[in-house]
Amino acid sequence: MDDDTLREAIRILRESIRRSVAHAEPKKDLIDRIEQLEAKLAKAVDALDEAVYLLRPDEKDMMRQAGVYRIVTALAELKGL
C-alpha cells in the first residue's frame, strides 16, 4: 500500500464524515454515524499498528523509505488525527 493509497483512504473517510454531517437530520442519527465512523477508523489504526508490529521495521527500512516506512508514517498520521 503506497502513500497515495493511504492518503486517498483518509480523504474518503473524511469526505464520508462531511457527507454524513451534511445529510443527517436528527442529532441522534448524526451522533450514531460519527460513532460508526470512529469505530471504523479505530479498526484501521489497530490493523496498521499490528502490521507495523509484525513487520518490525528497522533503521534501514525507515531510511530507504520502503513500504514499511509508508505504513509507519501512515499510522503516525492517523494517530495524529
Domain ranges of the chain: 3-79
Query: What pLDDT score does 81 carry?
Result: 54
Q: What is the DSSP string of 18-66?
A: HHHHHH--SHHHHHHHHHHHHHHHHHHHHHHHHHHHHH---HHHHHTT-
- pLDDT-derived band of residue 19, with 50, 70 and 90 as boundaries? confident
If pLDDT is split at 50, 70 and 90, which confidence band does 15 have? confident
